[in-house]
Chain A
Amino acid sequence: MSTPDGVGRLSRLFRRLLPGDLGAEVCDTMDRRHEERRARHGAAAAWVSHAAHLLNPHTWFLAILLRRRQPTSRRSLFGLGFSWLDVKLGLRMLHRSPGLTVVAVLALSIGIPASLIPIHGIDAMGAPLPFDEADRIVGIRNRDVATRRPDRRSLHDFFGWRRELTTFEAIGAARTDPYNVISEDGRAAPGRGAEMSASGFRILRVPPLMGRHLLESDEVPGAPDVVVISHELWQSRLAGDSDVLGKTVEIGPKPHEVVGVMPEGFLFPWRDHLWLPLRYRPTDFAPGTGPDLTVFGRLADGVSIDDARAELETIGARLAGAYPATHGQLRPQVMGYTEMAWGRSDGLDRAGMYLTQLVALALLMIVCGNVGTLILARTASRSGEIAVRTALGASRSRIVSQLFLEALVLALGSAGLGLFVADFIAARFQEAMPLEAPFWLDLGVKPRTVAVALSVAALCAVVAGVLPALRATGRGVGVSLQGVAARSGMRFGRASTFLIVAEVAMAVGFLTMGGTLTYALLESGPVVSEIDPDEYLMMELSIPWTDHGATEDRFESMYLRAFGAPAVPAFRERVTAVVTGLQDRLSGEPGVRGVAMGSRLPEMEHRGGRVEVDGENLGDGFEGHHVRLATVDIGFFDGLGADVLVGRGFDTRDLAGAPGESRSAVVVNTAFVEHVLGGRNPIGRRVRYVVPTGRDPGPWYEIVGVVGHLGMNALAPARDEGMYHPAAAGELYPVWMAIRLGEDPLAFVPRLRRIASEVDPEAMIQYPQVLSDAPNIDKTVNLYSYLLLLFLCGITLLLSAAGLYALMSFTVSQRTREIGIRTALGARPERILIAIARRAFLQLVTGIAAGVAVGVGLLYSLRHANIPGPDPALTLAACSAFMLLVGMTACLEPTLRGLRIQPVEALREG
């Protein structure tokens, strides 16, 4: 029935709303009534009357009744206009195109979870504490606007805030440190603990499992030494003793009475296992000094975080005015506790992470677009089916819905598979993280991540399903009916062209990066460190901070800023005593072949810096050579058993003067000589750190010796150009020690702990392990990033190849008749080949050209990060050639199919 356009749209809407034969009958009747009204009252009045049906509740009630009458298999899914039959059909189509299904599932099951890493990270890191009304628990701290860093020496402020702030129910503070817990048998083991104010427990609202919390009365100087312990500590060190309350535990040199046990999982403020009273008084410290504190509070009822912020800012401004020397540069901040705990200057960098999220989603959309291209190509082969369904009365929206549903089934299935794998990988990753993560961090997949993933999957289905479907059903469907499967009138449009080009470019880019990193890894393979890391026991030696003032070093010189050193003389003396005492004891120990101490040990990730060589003039843009750095004791190389290849190692004369400027001797390694000095004689040559323009250049250091590779770069051991500075015992803190033992180094750990506790009951042996298992978060992150990159590389390659294959198949199926006629007219095969493959080849070449541009940028950044690689031009040429080969291979089968077309067959189809 012909209706004016506006009414036609209304009628179509009613037909969608009212399903089934009876629905169609209702719609026919409504259309007829409309025609009658139009004849009698005019088009406008008739249209208004027709449209009024939309407002009639009976229309909607009828829609529900009619849907209820639909057979189960045809019933709509979630009111979206799909039926279970559509789902079954979708699954069947996926089964019938296994190649497409595998490629698409691979792409989406990696692409969807990978694209959600940023938002998942934000959620996991900023997750609220697992406590009652945790969103009311906030962190408070000062930020130094000059250094842009948090200043946590807030003892005075803590007491001031506690006294003055009215927007908080309570304010607490904690200071964490490792403690030696010595059990009755004399065994010492370190445990992270916190001195925490009694108010802290009230803020957290977690009742003790046994006994009590810490009380204000415990904080009074001279009060009995008490401790509250974690469930884990109670189980592991005290064997879950049910009579533990009232017993004493030695923490460092002092016995403490256990007054409470907290429930399992309570490890506030980070991952702490024991809580001691916080006994610092502001009178003992000048303002702006004292221990580093984590201050936190619970917002009062009815108070928002903005109210608290406003009140705190007022107090901050008053203090800044009253005490410009100590508070002039400090600005108090309030933020969610878990955000603050990560220690960034502004809490979690949400803006940056959300931006990364957007970029990740944009990349995912390219992947989806490519899957869409494949679906479009397959849809082309179904143009006959679509034409028949259209002729039988299926509306365009019905067909688009069906194609969307097929893509949705694919995307949801892939997202589910991807999330399952991602959850598994996240668990492994969390286990592999060498540093202690905060107790609330759970990298596992959360309901919100699942919800976001499903939404993203739906978005993918729109991009990969609806856009091709709209294109496939847009024009020429009627033409298709003439020759059912011959032609559809569909075209690969600009979007598809762009996607294929983008995918090829990305593939070349990823290939370049993946190839270079693989080269770096392979090249590093044969590089044997001078030492065998399996022979060494490594550990961190630390001593609790006890009334020595701030531990944070504030030296301005590059030398000390890079490595840190105990800034407080009393503490330095203590470290010296422990280190030398331990060295003496170990040197007389049977089985110990050497002891080395440093800010870093071989196999650990070393910090980097940029240096220049005296007499070298490499122009204004020269940013310096990137080298790895370590500060080591003078017996470091001997202790490791590493030979000094040229010149000499460190000795006592190198320690003359204060640490820093006056000590000029440095030892470099062979990679330094090769890559920084270009193989020139290093001895006597001078180097210094490159500083930003306008600042005083630091002192020159003189190279006195050369050692071999000692594992300063975990990712690329061959490119570990590095430099060692000398330090006296006591100038390094925390101290990493490597003890050369030979076979089974771990067996020495109990003996080592005993020796350490004999030297100083508070000396702690932390993270003891074989040197080859060095804690190395960068190594772990690098490994996972590398694997992800390899996956992305594979997927983009696969997708670009599949995209080209689809394009070629599509071209051949579209031009069957033309090819047949050309063949009949005697066209030579090569001309036909050009006709078929020209477009795919052009896209391939354009993509490769764009990819080379991307690759140049990536290679530059890799070079900048000092990651070695083969010759850049060679890398790009090889990657381009490989991509060309893959692309051509993908085009081969459809091209051959095109060349085999027989004129008779083609004409029959036409």
Chain B
Amino acid sequence: MSLGELQQLAMLAVARLGPGAYGAAIQDELAEVAGRQVSVPTVYVTLIRLEEHGLVRSTEEPPPDGRGGRARRVFEVTPSGWGALHEARAASDRMWRGVAQP
């Protein structure tokens, strides 16, 4: 499937965050690095849709301090997700090639 811009950014955020890629962190990463302010529901809708397409997968991680709090879902990019990312980047590069700003 071809990735939308937000999907691409969200997958890159997941990839950048590694084992700490849970919802709130991804939202922060998108805001800080990509400058995209997106709402919490938007982040999760994007992640769930990506997971449904097999581009990311999630596991439940126990609460960080071991007591209290709630388990949270941590995301990672799947091999086919990586493939989609590379393909998106290559398509973008191909499109940029030969483009000169007037």
Contact = CB atoms under 8 A, between A and B. Distances in A.
Interface of A: 21-22, 24-26, 28-30, 32-33, 53, 56, 58-59, 61-62, 65-66, 69
Contact of B45 (A21, A30, A53, A61): A61
B72 A25 contact: yes
B55 to A, nearest CB: 15
A267 B31 CA distance: 78
B60 to A, nearest CB: 8
B44 A62 contact: yes
Of A24, A25, A61, A66, which is in contact with the most chain B CB atoms at under 10 Å from its CB?
A: A25
B90 interface: no
Nearest to A65: B48
Q: Which 4 A-B pairs have the closest CB atoms?
A: A59-B41, A58-B41, A58-B42, A62-B41
B23 A56 contact: no
A26 B23 contact: yes
Say whether chain B's binding surface is mostly helix, strand, loop, or mixed: helix
Contact of A22 (B24, B27, B42, B44): B44
B101 interface: no
Nearest to A18: B41
A59 B43 CA distance: 10
Contacts of B48: 22, 62, 65-66, 69
B44 A26 contact: yes
Interface string B40-66: 111011001100000000001000000
B54 to A, nearest CB: 15
Of B41, B42, B44, which is in contact with the most chain A CB atoms at under 10 Å from its CB?
A: B41
14 contacts: A21-B73, A22-B44, A25-B23, A25-B70, A25-B72, A26-B40, A29-B24, A32-B24, A33-B24, A56-B41, A58-B42, A59-B41, A65-B48, A69-B48
Contacts of B2: none
Nearest to A59: B41
Contacts of A30: 40-41
Contact of A33 (B40, B60, B70, B72): B40
A689 to B, nearest CB: 82
A650 B72 CA distance: 103
B71 interface: yes
Say whether chain A's binding surface is mostly helix, strand, loop, or mixed: helix
Contacts of B49: 65
Interface string B19-42: 000011001000000000001111
B36 to A, nearest CB: 14
B23 A58 contact: no
A65 B45 contact: yes
A57 to B, nearest CB: 9
B42 A21 contact: no
B18 to A, nearest CB: 19
A58 B27 CA distance: 15
A58 B70 contact: no
A26 B41 contact: yes
A14 to B, nearest CB: 9
A25 B44 CA distance: 10
Contacts, number: 51
Contacts of A21: 60, 70-71, 73
A58 B73 contact: no
Of B24, B40, B72, B73, which is in contact with the most chain A CB atoms at under 10 Å from its CB?
A: B40
Of A29, A56, A66, which is in contact with the most chain B CB atoms at under 10 Å from its CB?
A: A29
Given A29-B27, A66-B48, 17 more contacts: A21-B60, A24-B70, A25-B23, A25-B73, A26-B23, A26-B41, A26-B44, A29-B23, A32-B24, A33-B24, A53-B40, A53-B41, A58-B41, A59-B39, A62-B44, A65-B45, A65-B49
Contacts of B60: 21
B43 to A, nearest CB: 8
Given A32-B24, A61-B45, A22 B73 contact: yes
Contacts of A69: 48
Contacts of B39: 53, 56, 58-59
A28 B44 CA distance: 13
A282 B11 CA distance: 92
Contacts of A24: 70
B73 A29 contact: no
Nearest to A27: B40
A65 B52 CA distance: 10
Of B27, B48, B49, which is in contact with the most chain A CB atoms at under 10 Å from its CB?
A: B48
Of B44, B70, B73, which is in contact with the most chain A CB atoms at under 10 Å from its CB?
A: B44
Contacts of A29: 23-24, 27, 40
B11 to A, nearest CB: 18
A33 B48 CA distance: 20
A28 B40 CA distance: 10
A30 B44 CA distance: 11
B73 A62 contact: no
Interface string B81-94: 00000000000000
B71 to A, nearest CB: 7
A321 B49 CA distance: 79
A70 to B, nearest CB: 13
A66 B47 CA distance: 12
A36 B49 CA distance: 27
A226 to B, nearest CB: 75
Contacts of B73: 21-22, 25
A71 to B, nearest CB: 15
Nearest to A63: B41
A61 B23 CA distance: 17
B42 A56 contact: yes
B45 A58 contact: yes
Contacts of B41: 26, 30, 53, 56, 58-59, 61-62
A2 B42 CA distance: 25
Contacts of B72: 25
A65 B73 CA distance: 16
A29 B27 CA distance: 10
A30 B48 CA distance: 17
A21 B23 CA distance: 13
Nearest to A31: B40
Given A53-B39, A56-B39, A58-B39, A28 B45 contact: no
A33 B26 CA distance: 13
Contacts of B70: 21, 24-25, 28
A61 B46 CA distance: 10
A652 B27 CA distance: 111
A25 B49 CA distance: 17
Contacts of A58: 39, 41-42, 45
